[in-house]
Structure 1
Amino acid sequence: MDHAFDLSAPWWTFVVRGVVTYLGLLILMRLAGKGSLGEMSAFDIVIIALVGGTLRTAIIGHDQGMLGPFIGVASIFATNRLLAWTCARFPRFNRLVEGFPALLIRDGRRDRDAMRRQHVADAALDRALHKAGLEDERDIRMGRLEPNGKITLTRRSAPRGTE
């Protein structure tokens, strides 16, 4: 416990490493696509565990004290807060960070090319339909893969007189 608050490097290196690691991982997640941000599967949980363990060294290096990791984590939280503040005030920057939705269903028909580009399997789209209480896409006007990886569905309007 004698060296718990000693740092193996200057404090600011932990800040820089935390910020750079956060931004680098954010870029990698955007490049990985929207599907990696949606509902988590067992594969996603394994990826998160591996990424976290791998990036530990990138953030704190070989520091064995308690202070270095806290400085690194505080810098990640501060960067996240600054990024959220910036995205809330600058819509174009937000679209750059967040991305755009992708249309998967148009007027009751699956767009197979869009599904392929977005790496969305039929089974994933079927799950979204079932979650909405539907058996197939014929009752859907529009189905989108949102930037956060969720699939949102807009039903067609009911014909007049059938309500």
Structure 2
Amino acid sequence: MDYAAIVFRTLFFYGLIIIIFRVMGKREIGELSILDLVVFIMIGEMAVVAIEKHDSPLLHTMVPMIVLMALQIILAIISLKSKKVRDLIDGKPIIIINRGKIDEDAMRKQRYNFDDLLTQLREKNIRSIADVEFAILESSGSLSVIEKLKNSGNETKQGDITIPLILDGQIDEENLRRINKTNLWLRQELKKKGYRDIKKISFCSYENGNFFIDLLDEE
């Protein structure tokens, strides 16, 4: 067995994988999408096979690894410009607890049970579901929790969360329905504020009756 070749290939692919992951961009492990995991696993498996089969040409492994890297970068660029592609690749955040009320239908659709919910709440030091105003199951599988606000008398009161209504010039109809508003209402409210062209709005959110609006970068 040629141990020198094995050591060389191990070091070579170690460096190559680091370069590929750096080029693809930084993301926390908990924020990886399904597509990220598939690409990372495939690249890792290719490297292992190439190290074991030390008599095969390096290019036979390098080419598919670089192709996967290029594909990942292209899809990332497309997803930045298209919310539909972003939702398809990464999925959408799902509100599991909305204003203190558990949405069992949303849990069933995500195959997410009460044991999962309670486990993730305990991990965030939340003792009771009654203390939760909003719980959002993120596309990464992590749970974001917003606790109920408390006044000076230690009594809880309702808060709100930021609801994105426009992303990359596209109106999010689902979020409009969530706050019991219509497309026409949004357009009228934006016109009052001087925004007539929806496509020029990069991000628009609604929270506690207030809008936050950010325009697309103009070249």
Relative to the length of structure 1, the TM-score reads: 0.56
2:135 corresponds, among 143, 150, 156, to 143
Determine whether 1:75 maps to 2:62: no
1:96 corresponds, among 85, 88, 91, to 88
Q: Tell me: CA distance 1:38–1:105, structure 2 relative to 1, closer, same or farther (3 Å).
A: farther
Is the contact made by 1:107 and 1:138 (CA closer than 8 Å) also made in structure 2?
Answer: no
SS in 2 for 1:147: coil
Matched to 2:118, the amino acid is: D
Which runs of 5 or more residues in structure 2 are unaligned? 3-28, 32-37, 51-55, 156-219
1:126 corresponds, among 99, 103, 118, to 118
Is the contact made by 1:88 and 1:94 (CA closer than 8 Å) also made in structure 2?
Answer: yes
Q: CA deviation at 1:52?
A: 4.6
What percentage of aligned pairs have identical amino acids? 23
Cα deviation 1:102-157 (Å, max 9, x = unaligned) = 12112223222221211112222112111221122111111111112111111111
SS in 1 for 2:95: strand
**1:37-48 mapped onto 2 (5 Å cutoff):** none
Q: Which runs of 4+ in 1 moved over 6 A?
A: none
Q: Distance in 2 between matches of 1:124 and 1:38?
A: 16
Q: What root-mean-square deviation, in Å, do the aligned CA atoms of Structure 1 and Structure 2 show?
A: 3.5
Based on CA coordinates, which of the two structures has the bigger radius of gyration?
Answer: 2
Q: Distance in 2 between matches of 1:103 and 1:119?
A: 14
Q: Distance in 2 between matches of 1:82 and 1:149?
A: 24
Matched to 1:75, the amino acid is: V
More strand by share: 2
Q: Distance in 1 between matches of 2:114 and 2:42?
A: 30
Which runs of 5 or more residues in structure 1 are unaligned? 2-36, 40-47
Determine whether 1:116 maps to 2:111: no
Relative to the length of structure 2, the TM-score reads: 0.43
Q: CA deviation at 1:160?
A: 4.4
1:156 corresponds, among 148, 155, 172, to 148
Determine whether 1:107 maps to 2:70: no
In structure 2, the partner of 1:66 is 58
Q: Distance in 2 between matches of 1:94 and 1:52?
A: 21
Q: Distance in 1 between matches of 2:150 and 2:67?
A: 51
In structure 2, the partner of 1:27 is none
Greater RCO structure (CA 8 Å; 6+ sep): 1
More helix by share: 1
SS in 2 for 1:76: helix
Is the contact made by 1:109 and 1:137 (CA closer than 8 Å) also made in structure 2?
Answer: no
